[in-house]
Structures are given as structure tokens and as C-alpha cells.
Amino acid sequence: MRSHRYLTIVAVLCLAVLALPCRDAAAGDFAAEARAIAVHDTSVHPFIMPQSGKEAGDPFPAYWGGVWHLYTLSADLRQVYHLTSTDLVKWTEHAPAMVGGGIATGTVVRHDNRYYMFYTDAGPQTIRVVVSDNPWHFDFNASRLVAQADNKVYQLHKRKFRDCYVFYNEAEMLWWMLLEATSDDTVAVGLFKSKDLLTWTQHNPIFKDKSRQHASCPQVFERNGRWYLTCLDYPTWYYCADDLYGPWSLGGYYHTKRLTAASRWAGDGKRQLGWGFFTKHDTPEGNNRGYGGPLGVGREMVFTADGAIGVRPLPELIAAMREPSSNADVFACAKELSGKWKRDAERRELQCTDDAGGVLLLDLPEENPNYYFETEIELSRPEATAAVVVRCSRDFDAGYRVELIPLEKKVAIRQFASDGGKFDEREHAFADCATTLLQVFVCDGQIEAFVDSRASLSARVLHRTEHRVAIEIAGGRATIRKPLLHYFKQAAN
């Protein structure tokens, strides 16, 4: 028995050593880091579902010393899951960073080699903090109250005093805490300030907007002399201002409507990365409401020339999936279902040469319904449309359409039928006479699509067995460039 136990311990420690990121010397004692639970390779399965308990909830990432830390709530609000990565492809899941009850959204910051986990106490809607000498373990029983609604400036009766975000304001040389609040019966982003991260003073909100129902998971950051405020109100919106105190002007929304709590970002000084999760919601396939689900694809924030925010999938993940080891021969399995098509494997092009369009089926030899598909699509005229049908049936009568509709300036995920219900839809300005990059992740019960590395769509779906892909062009000709299909791991039956 002792020998068996010894071998088990050695195996666990070996897993931890192989999977762990580089040691950050400032993090203190790393004994807890050896408690690795699993390694999630997102090039094998893109949507992380923690193994240490319930489904995931709101994520709040951080970055220190070359390591990305992804903290995320459990759906039952009893744990804070903790994953780390140095390459943004493989993620080591550690023992939960904190275990307790009523743990809702917060922030983890590092200061003077100590770590501060701020979180919302979900019951009373107050803000608490736990201080630790390492980023791996926070003692829930040692938490202390740091902020609560005074029912004057901030009214608690709306039950919006939550989702704290803490950062250092260099201009004032003070720590700032932002949170979703209610002030004057209006949705607000509340403000508290501190010198030491433990004692906080209340201030008037920096933002109020009567048009909002929520300002959940607020965060601010500066770029090129302008401040951006992001918050979740289904979908995730952003505002701009020349000063942190406002006034704030609405920029728009930059995330899919179906990925929740995707307004928290971590930066390494060069870029901002964020995650969200697939909460349950009503879809054309039925009603399915509830909190919690797998994490979506990691995103990198991008900006257009006029300063508008967009998102793209992590470039490191895309590069890993473009390696040929798990990719299908798209040209070998392409079959015309309608219209006229030309195939040029050497140039990696598929051309629909019929003015009315046509359908090309990729009758994939591996019956795996989980894959990543990307391609560049050039349409011959603005009136033409394109749809990539994932989980497509052999007879082209079932599947999920990822649609590009340039004339209407829209992209969407919808049911197969031409009048089928929409899972997700958003506006998208297509560039004139240019190709459109479409990247689609299909795995288990989730679909995510990215268009032109700036717009995203997400959906939870029921049908998980069909494995083919079809490309449908309507109202014109088209050139399909560099099509690539990368297989994910197929779920066990």
C-alpha cells in the first residue's frame, strides 16, 4: 500500500513538473503549484471545462512574470478555478485557488510580492479581500470586508454592488476599485480608492447610464491617450473618454451576445487578452437557461484605425492548429453539389465559377464532428452571400450556417433552413473588393466564429454528430482561398 501511494505521488509530481510554467521568483513558496490537476491543450479541445468541479463562470485573468493566470468562478460560486499558461495553447489546471461559498466576480492583483484576491460576497453584495503570499492559495476564512453600499451614494436595493475590478492609478498614485453599482436609481460604475489595498474610501461613480440594465464586470484601460471602459450588458459594450472620470461616450459592442463575462482583460504591456464563458440561454433549439458553462476561445483585443474595439482568436492557438499533423486534405474530399467549381490544390484555391453560386461539400473521411475550419472568401459582387455550413449532413439538409451577408453588413450563426432561427447575429462592415477571413471553432455543444479578426459570434447547439462541412455561395461567383480543417479530439461516447 505504501509503495502504491508513493508511486501515485511521484506520478502527480511528474505531471506538475512537466506541465507547469516557468517559476516566477516573486511568487514565494510554490509548493501548492505541484497540485496540478490536468493539462488542457486548446489545440486539441478549444473550450476549457475545469475538471475540479462544476461548470465555469466569470473569468478574471492576470499576468505576472511571463505567466498568464486564468482565474474563473465555478457555476455554484463555491470555488475559484485557476489555470496557467506560458504559450497560450496548453493550460495547466491547478487545485482551486479558493474554496468557500458565495464567491462572485473579482480581481487578483500582485503588490510587494503579495497577492490580493478581491471578490464579491454574493449574498450580501459586499466586496471582500483575501491576502496571500502566493497566487495559488487564498484562505477563504481569512477574508475581510473592504467595501459595501452605503445606501446613499450607492443603493443596495437594486442588488448591484459587485464585480470589483482593482488596478493602480499611476496618475493619482492610488489603487482604484471599480464595481457595478446603482446610484440615483441608475446603473453605475462605482469608485473606491486606497493607498494600501486594505483600507478603501468611497467616491462618486465615474459612470452612469440610464439606458443600461447592467454594467457588470467593469474594467478600464488606456490606449493612445484615450480611456476605454468595458462592461457587460448582454452583449459587452465599451465607452470612450479623455479622462477616467468621464464623460464617457458609447463606442458600441465588441463581443458576441452569447459569450458572458468577457469584459475582463489581462495585459502584458503589449496586448490585452480575455476570456468569457458559454452560459445557458434560449436558442432556436429550445429553452435552456442557467449560469455556467465551458470557457470560450481566448481572445486578443484589436483596434480599428478609428479606435473601435474588436477581437480575434489568440494567434498562438491559430498557429498551433495550422500545423499539418491533425489537418484534413480538404481538396481531396471536395464534392460539387451544385454550380460549377474549380479546384487548384497547388494554389490552395476553390473557385465557384457559376454566376448563380453553388454548393461544395467537404465529405471528410474522418467522422469527427469537432474541428476548426478557416478560409478566406472573396465574393464577386456585394449582393453575393456566403455560408459555411458546419456539422453538415451528407445530403445538405441539416447543419449550422455561419453566414456572411455583405450587402446587409451582417454575420450570423443560424439553423440550416433559409428561414431558420438565429443563434447569434451582429453587424459587420465588410471591406470593399477584399477577402473575408472566416475562422470557425466547432466542438461538443459549442460553436464560435471570428470574422476578419475583429468580430465574433458564439452559440450553444444540440446536434453533435454530423462531421462534414459545406460551402454555399449565392448570388455570384467566389474564390475560397487557403481552406484548412484541423481536427479536435472527439468526445468519448
Tens digits of residue pLDDT in 419-431: 889 999 999 999 8
Q: Grid cell 453538415 — which residue?
A: 392
Q: Report whether 470 contacts 390 (CB < 8 A).
A: no
Q: What is the model's pLDDT at position 258?
A: 87
Cell triple for 88: 497560450
Tens digits of residue pLDDT in 214-237: 999 999 999 999 999 999 998 899
Q: What is the model's pLDDT at position 254?
A: 86
Of 27-36, 40-49, 175-184, 394-403, the poorest mean pLDDT is in 27-36
Q: Report whether 84 contacts 74 (CB < 8 A).
A: no
Q: Is the pLDDT of residue 183 over 70?
A: yes
Q: Is the pLDDT of residue 288 over 90?
A: no
Q: Report whether 209 contacts 189 (CB < 8 A).
A: no
Q: What is the model's pLDDT at position 3?
A: 33
Of the chain, the end-to-end C-alpha distance in Å amounts to: 34
Stretch 153-158: mean pLDDT, rounded? Answer: 91
Cell triple for 221: 484601460
Distance of alpha carbon 247 from the chain centroid: 28
Stretch 336-347: mean pLDDT, rounded? Answer: 96
Q: Is the pLDDT of residue 14 over 90?
A: no
C-alpha distances in Å from residue 226, one per residue of 109, 204, 271: 23, 21, 16
| Separation between Cα atoms, residue 284 and residue 288, nearest integer Å | 10
Q: Is the pLDDT of residue 290 over 90?
A: no
**How many Cβ atoms from other residues are within 10 Å of residue 313's Cβ?**
24
447: exposed, middle or buried (Cβ count in 10 Å: 0-12, 13-18, 19+): buried
Q: Across 134-215, where does the E strand assignment appear? A: 144-147, 162-169, 174-183, 186-194, 200-208
Domains contained in the chain, CATH given: 2-317 (2.115.10.20), 327-487 (2.60.120.560)
| Separation between Cα atoms, residue 313 and residue 296, nearest integer Å | 10
Beta bridge mates, 117? 108, 130
Select the more confidently predicted residue: 279 or 166: 166
Tens digits of residue pLDDT in 433-491: 689 999 999 999 999 999 999 999 999 999 999 999 999 999 999 999 999 999 999 86
Q: What is the model's pLDDT at position 364?
A: 95
Q: What is the mean pLDDT of the chain?
A: 91
Of 5-14, 301-310, 341-350, the poorest mean pLDDT is in 5-14
Residue type, 425: E
Q: Is the pLDDT of residue 21 over 90?
A: no
Stretch 202-225: mean pLDDT, rounded? Answer: 95
Helix (H) or strand (E) holding 41: strand 36-41
C-alpha distances in Å from residue 161, one per residue of 127, 149, 191: 8, 7, 11
**How many Cβ atoms from other residues are within 10 Å of residue 116's Cβ?**
20
Q: Among residues of the chain, what percentage have pLDDT more than 70? A: 92
Q: Report whether 96 contacts 79 (CB < 8 A).
A: yes
Could you tell me the pLDDT band of residue 393, with boundaries at 50, 70 and 90?
Answer: very high
| Separation between Cα atoms, residue 317 and residue 225, nearest integer Å | 30
Q: What is the model's pLDDT at position 22?
A: 39
Q: Report whether 391 contacts 413 (CB < 8 A).
A: no
Helix (H) or strand (E) holding 106: strand 103-111
Q: What is the model's pLDDT at position 456?
A: 96
138 φ/ψ sector (left φ>0, alpha ψ -120 to 50, else beta):
beta
Could you tell me the pLDDT band of residue 7, with boundaries at 50, 70 and 90?
Answer: very low
Residue whose C-alpha is closest to residue 484's, from 462, 469, 464: 469
Q: Among residues of the chain, what percentage have pLDDT more than 90? A: 82
Q: Report whether 81 contacts 97 (CB < 8 A).
A: yes
Q: Is the pLDDT of residue 20 over 80?
A: no
Helix (H) or strand (E) holding 346: none
Q: What is the model's pLDDT at position 398?
A: 96
**DSSP per-residue letters across 394-431:** TTS-S-EEEEEEGGGTEEEEEESSTTPPEEEEEE--PP
Q: Report whether 227 contacts 242 (CB < 8 A).
A: yes
Could you tell me the pLDDT band of residue 8, with boundaries at 50, 70 and 90?
Answer: very low
Cell triple for 144: 475581510
Q: What is the model's pLDDT at position 16?
A: 38
pTM (two decimals): 0.91
